[in-house]
Amino acid sequence: MRIHPTPDDLIELTASWTGDRFPDGRPRVPDDVLDKIRLATTEQAWAVLLREGYERQFAGGWRQTHPGTILVGRAVTAAFLPHRPDFDEAVVRAGAREGHLEADRQNSWIIQTLQPGDVMVTDIFGKVKEGTVVGDNLSTAVAARTGVGAVIDGGIRDYQGIVELGGGVNFFFRDVDPTPIRNVTLAGINIPIRIGEATVLPGDVVLGTPSGVIFIPAHLAAKVAEVSEEIRIRDVFGKLRLAHGVYTSAEIDVPTWAPHIEADFQQWRKESR
């Protein structure tokens, strides 16, 4: 068995992505696309995914360490299972073969793989007591390596220390508990996982907002960036014309503008460039 899939495994798993990849095979969505998605709302991203047939990519009901900080990055996925002795022994042996020597710190194995712009996305089946994937020390390591943060479908500890982290990071999590992580075993890193109702693959673009977290398949990230940018520009135009009394809300707040409004928008957009 393996803790980390091979590059060929990851390429096959994310075959819809045809762009650059990390050496481990994970999709590498360009930084400029991430920058544009950072300006998108959850609803804008959700609308694009819905049209593409991806109906279950959103998970809500989170607490955050830094509310108001938008979380955007490339997913590094990991999952834990309830502890079972024989399985844990197999994982420890596999981890040792792959260079992980601290058998009792399997949560740190994930952190060792993180790179700038990554989001650590961890499924620990909603466990909070004894499901605290990071405390202030490990969250500091996550922040230092990624500059972004994490999504943890489970618990954290040392909340007061984590909220003191700067640098624009944010950690989404279910709740806080003082207990350390225990009685779980790491099932794998960069494998398909479940977060709420969403299936998350390594390399997905993670967008965390005040609404919740949406996981954008890598091959749809550029489309989400493009569509959300178009919507923002149209919103600026619409509100400008409404403020000046040029059009009514009934004319602007419709899926498709009348031809004369669309022509006005295109002319305004051309002059604004």
How far apart are the C-alpha atoms of 111 and 107, rounded to whole Å?
7
Cα-based angle 86, 89, 95 (whole degrees, multiple of 5): 145
166 appears as a binding residue in the annotation: no
Q: Could you report the per-residue pLDDT of 80-92, keeping only the tens digit for each?
A: 999 999 999 999 9
Would you state the structure tokens that stand for residue 69, as one six-digit string?
A: 């900080």
When the pLDDT of each residue in the chain is averaged and rounded to a whole number, the result is: 96
Which pLDDT does position 255 carry in this prediction?
Answer: 85
Distances from the Cα of 64 to the Cα of 3, 37, 180, 207, angstroms: 29, 19, 19, 13
Which pair of structure tokens corresponds to residue 80? Answer: 């834990």
Query: Domains of the chain (ranges plus CATH)?
Result: 7-217 (3.50.30.40), 223-272 (no CATH)
Residue 105 clears pLDDT 80, i.e. is over it: yes
pLDDT over 90 (residue 47): yes
Tell me, what's the pLDDT at 103? 76
Average pLDDT estimate for 133-152: 97
Residue type at 124?
A: I
State percent of the chain over pLDDT 70.
Answer: 100
158 in a known ligand binding site: yes
User: Which residues 6+ apart lie within 8 Å of 53 measured at CB?
Assistant: none
Axis crossing angle, helix 259-272 with helix 221-243, rounded to the nearest 10: 100
Is residue 101 pLDDT above 90, yes or no? no
Exposure class string for 22-36: b at 16+ Cβ within 10 A, else e: bebbbbbbeeebbeb
pLDDT bin (cut points 50, 70, 90) of residue 272 is confident
pLDDT at residue 177 above 90? yes
Per residue in 12-46, pLDDT (tens digit) is 999 999 999 999 999 999 999 999 999 999 999 99
Residue whose tokens read 């969403």? 198
- Residue 64 pLDDT exceeds 80: yes
State how far the Cα of 231 lies from the Cα of 71, in Å rounded to an integer. Answer: 20
137 band by pLDDT with thresholds 50, 70 and 90: very high
User: Has 135 been labeled as part of a binding site?
Assistant: yes
The pTM of this model reads 0.92
Q: What is the pLDDT of residues 151-166, one digit of tens each?
A: 999 999 999 999 999 8
Q: What is the DSSP letter of 220?
A: G
Q: How far does CA 155 lie from the centroid of its chain?
A: 17
Q: Give the pLDDT of residue 145.
A: 97
Better-scored residue on pLDDT, 271 or 123: 123
Tokens matching residue 106:
């399997």
Question: Tens digits of per-residue pLDDT, 183-240?
Answer: 999 999 999 999 999 999 999 999 999 999 999 999 999 999 999 999 889 999 999 9
Whether residue 56 is annotated as binding a ligand: the answer is: no
CB atoms within 10 A of CB 212: 16
99 is in an annotated binding site: no
Token digits for 55? 């109906």
C-alpha 171/C-alpha 5 separation (Å) is 26
157 marked as part of a ligand binding site: yes
Instruction: Find the range with the poorest average confidence among 45-49, 126-130, 178-182, 268-272.
Output: 268-272
